[in-house]
Structure 1
């Protein structure tokens, strides 16, 4: 009984530390105005992105060798940055095409390094569609989604660890911690879906402000839907919302920003 009480006390202390650390680190996003629980500075995000970018590129076969293609993507990306409030952010944007011609994907790492695979680029049929992809990824950067994810993961891992300390069954070690980790992962996935919706919606805004046709974002969703095939994971178990749900939210964003 004494040992069990001690585990409960230590678990409670660990949980309180995790919660206090998370909520005590609050910053206001200079672009979106949103108050976010983030412990990293923009300079730390930029450094993390620069350090991780070569490794990320290597996982997708390195950079696409055609410099003309690279420059055309950079031109579209920088046009969006320079025509919108994104230019007031502290991040240094650069855009890269990856050599992978099998994986349909685009992603951003913290600080402004943005990537699109040759496989996805090959499926796009207009500059407007490319702008939709890049605008979405730009929002992940200025929305500080990676920094938020890191802080959220630290919180959920801290709470999961606290729960494991407090409830661990000596006769079945590891069982409760595995369950706690699974729940923590699902919480993280929900945050991911919220980030994707925000990136779609602000991506529409960046497209309109930089002179691109926002309806092309819907075309991109159709491309991604087709690329995912009929066996794509359910929305609940995926970090990305269902494409049909995303299309509806994109239509709402188009109506909202066109009315301004």
Structure 2
């Protein structure tokens, strides 16, 4: 069946975008382009951009064909499984995101930059949590090891472009729905991975599993499942799942490797229960051909109305009394989402951010169709410095905001900033522009003495914000927490900015830990400390 006109248009646009994105892989750090016959150098920023834009288009295509699972319970489970593994890996350059596609076949793939897709069938057919964890660990390994970037650097770029050109040609015929385009990207990325990359991903997956609390051979049942379904002519499995390299060999290697790996971690409490609940929910979604089970909030409770009216008279003058009033009302009226939402608002104003997050999450559970519940939840996590959870909840809000209103635009801006940090690296220097200086602010320092003349903070600004460097404000705080200096950032060597604190007679006596914060549109985009000693 031919695609609908709007489906054809999006498919053609997406195919063209993919070719453009792969062109980014040929851009060097200095902005010049390599000829296609050469070997590309893919920076972290370029890899992040490729993945972010491809992820956005794939989501749009899947959503248009009603194939992107939007259910908050299912997404919360897959996010917790993935993030619990990522948390064991140390600091990461990417924000990992996890998607679920409403398809019953076995499949999973990772985009560059951290977006990982699972077919619903992969989750539904997993017999144990560890089996699904094995698939998750393998896909995370592809991202962690930067196989996309290394593949472009090591492989012939024209062959990857040729694969995507094939996808573009298919789309141009008007016979490809958005889902098929997304699957085509999957194939192009998977087949670009060498046998060495697949073997490395398997090896890393075993280690990641053990750190997260699962046996290192947890993926073996998934290999068995692929082999069993391969023998069934009625089941269609993507070829790369069993031929790159052979599943039999990977299975044997996984068993052998597991003998020397000790489980050191523990899965999050309650994750097994969430796994079973997500499987039940997914089965119901596929059966009813829905992407989300919506729970509508019923008629407002009159007692809650009375509580909110009373709250309006006291919240400004006595927030603590307002919080106590709402807590008492929630005990009597536990099903009204307006009460925990208002409690979260007061807790956030009082600086009790963790409690505020719990309150907003309660409101979102009671009424998951309201975007504002997820938006406020995301902002609180962002304020707490939890970029991962902030991204997850703000994405939930984005899916629920209708049209192109102010809050939707703000959510989109927040997500972009979480995905593409304004400051990617920085530090302090002595301000001496002398031979051997290793930073744009002179020689790198983390501690200074009272006899030093100055301290210079510097930061490397990401390319997407290079034109707005003048909007960055820098604040210096002494060991007591007092604001000592606030100035716009100075331009250093492009694309860096800096700020200088002169150590005069007064400042030189304030020994201890100093703090520097850089602000961009009221957001703290960099926070660093240095020590000042006598």
User: Under a length normalisation based on structure 1, what TM-score does the superposition of the two structures give?
Assistant: 0.65
Structure 2 CA distance, aligned partners of 1:99 and 1:140?
23
Per-residue deviation, residues 199-255 of structure 1 (Å, max 9, x unmatched)? 11110100001111223211111112223336799x99x752111100111123212
What RMSD over aligned residues (CA atoms) do the two structures have, in Å? 3.2
Structure 1 CA distance, aligned partners of 2:247 and 2:159?
29
State which of 77, 84, 94 in structure 2 corresponds to 1:79.
84
Where do 5+ consecutive residues of structure 1 fail to align?
1-16, 23-37, 161-187
Structure 2 equivalent of residue 199 of structure 1: 201
Structure 1 equivalent of residue 91 of structure 2: 88
DSSP 3-state at the match of 1:256: coil
Given the alignment of the two structures, is residue 99 of structure 1 paired with residue 99 of structure 2, yes or no? no
Normalized per residue, which structure has more helix?
1
Where do 5+ consecutive residues of structure 2 fail to align?
1-34, 163-189, 265-534
Per-residue deviation, residues 42-85 of structure 1 (Å, max 9, x unmatched)? 111111111001333435853213221111010010000112x2
State which of 242, 248, 261 in structure 2 corresponds to 1:244.
248
Higher relative contact order (CA closer than 8 Å, sequence separation 6+): 1
Normalized per residue, which structure has more strand?
2
Given the alignment of the two structures, is residue 141 of structure 1 paired with residue 146 of structure 2, yes or no? no
Q: Give the structure with higher Rg (CA).
A: 2
Structure 1 equivalent of residue 156 of structure 2: 154
Structure 2 equivalent of residue 13 of structure 1: none
Structure 1 CA distance, aligned partners of 2:159 and 2:51?
23
Given the alignment of the two structures, is residue 68 of structure 1 paired with residue 73 of structure 2, yes or no? yes
Structure 2 CA distance, aligned partners of 1:254 and 1:245?
14
DSSP 3-state at the match of 1:95: strand
Structure 2 equivalent of residue 28 of structure 1: none
Residues 53 and 109 of structure 1 are in contact (CA less than 8 Å); yes or no, is this contact kept in structure 2? yes
Per-residue deviation, residues 142-194 of structure 1 (Å, max 9, x unmatched)? 11111222334435659x9xxxxxxxxxxxxxxxxxxxxxxxxxxx9585322
Structure 2 CA distance, aligned partners of 1:119 and 1:259?
27
Structure 2 equivalent of residue 213 of structure 1: 215
Residues 128 and 214 of structure 1 are in contact (CA less than 8 Å); yes or no, is this contact kept in structure 2? no
Residues 193 and 239 of structure 1 are in contact (CA less than 8 Å); yes or no, is this contact kept in structure 2? no
Residues 46 and 92 of structure 1 are in contact (CA less than 8 Å); yes or no, is this contact kept in structure 2? no
User: Under a length normalisation based on structure 2, what TM-score does the superposition of the two structures give?
Assistant: 0.33
Given the alignment of the two structures, is residue 253 of structure 1 paired with residue 253 of structure 2, yes or no? no
Structure 2 equivalent of residue 108 of structure 1: 110
